[in-house]
């Protein structure tokens, strides 16, 4: 349902051009609800609203120095289980990784369920689903090769030297 390959900028309140790939930011009632990686940059983004600039500032900070990232108030929509996983993800500090299994044990569930919640993460980067890796390997990142590169980039950016 989420993650259309061809996205028009109108689906987002702003497009953020990160060093890796463009990000689509969506607000709802002045609360952050979605950040998607975009495969196709659409330069014609609308003028950012006031609420978006706060998000942009945090993204700037992250891409400048990931270790100084601050928590953000956001309202991701999802099931109770997903919210629980996402909250847990946000407690993982930059530069550290956890495996699906470890988190599953912590939340008394299965690795596969964790993967599911990660996959449907509505707020890329700020809810760090990229900090969850497989017990043996990198794991996946939204199912596509191009986006696995993004996961790698992010971890590398945070100082996790993988391989």
Residues tagged active-site = 129
DSSP characters over 26-55: EEETTEEEEEEE-SS--S-PPPPPHHHHHH
Neighbour-count burial for 69-102, b at 16+ CB within 10 Å, e otherwise? beebebebeeeeebeebbebbbebebeebbbbee
Choose one: 31-39, 47-55, 61-69, 138-146; the region binding DNA (CB under 7 A).
138-146
For the bound state, the minimum distance from the C-beta of residue 120 to DNA, rounded and expressed in Å, comes to 5
For the bound state, the minimum distance from the C-beta of residue 104 to DNA, rounded and expressed in Å, comes to 7
Q: Does 6 help bind DNA (rule: CB under 7 A)?
A: no
Find the length of the chain: 163
Q: Does 143 help bind DNA (rule: CB under 7 A)?
A: yes
Residue from 129, 150, 154, 155 binding DNA (CB under 7 A)? 129
Distance CA 91, CA 109 (A): 18
Distance CA 70, CA 67 (A): 9
The answer to whether 146 touches 38, Cβ cutoff 8 Å, is: no
Residue from 110, 146, 149, 159 binding DNA (CB under 7 A)? 110
Q: Does 135 help bind DNA (rule: CB under 7 A)?
A: yes
The smaller minimum CB distance to DNA, of residues 24 and 139, is found at: 139
Per CB under 7 A, residues contacting DNA are: 1-2, 78-82, 99-101, 104, 109-113, 115-121, 129, 132, 134-137, 139-143, 151
């Amino acid at each position: 349902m989420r993650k259309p390959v061809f996205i028009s900028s109108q689906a987002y309140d702003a497009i953020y051009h990160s060093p890796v790939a463009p990000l689509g930011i969506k607000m709802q009632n002045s609360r952050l609800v979605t950040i998607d990686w975009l495969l196709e940059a659409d330069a014609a983004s609308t003028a950012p609203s006031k609420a978006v600039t706060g998000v942009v500032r945090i993204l700037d900070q992250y891409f400048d120095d990931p270790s100084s990232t601050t928590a953000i108030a956001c309202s991701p929509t999802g099931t109770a289980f997903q919210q629980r996983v996402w909250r847990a993800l946000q407690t993982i500090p930059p530069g550290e990784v956890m495996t699906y299994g470890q988190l599953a044990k912590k939340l008394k569930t299965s690795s596969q369920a964790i993967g599911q919640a990660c996959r449907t993460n509505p707020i890329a980067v700020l809810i760090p689903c990229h900090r969850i890796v497989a017990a043996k390997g990198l794991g996946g990142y939204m199912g596509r090769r191009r986006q696995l590169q993004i996961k790698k980039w992010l971890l590398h950016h945070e100082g996790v030297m993988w391989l």
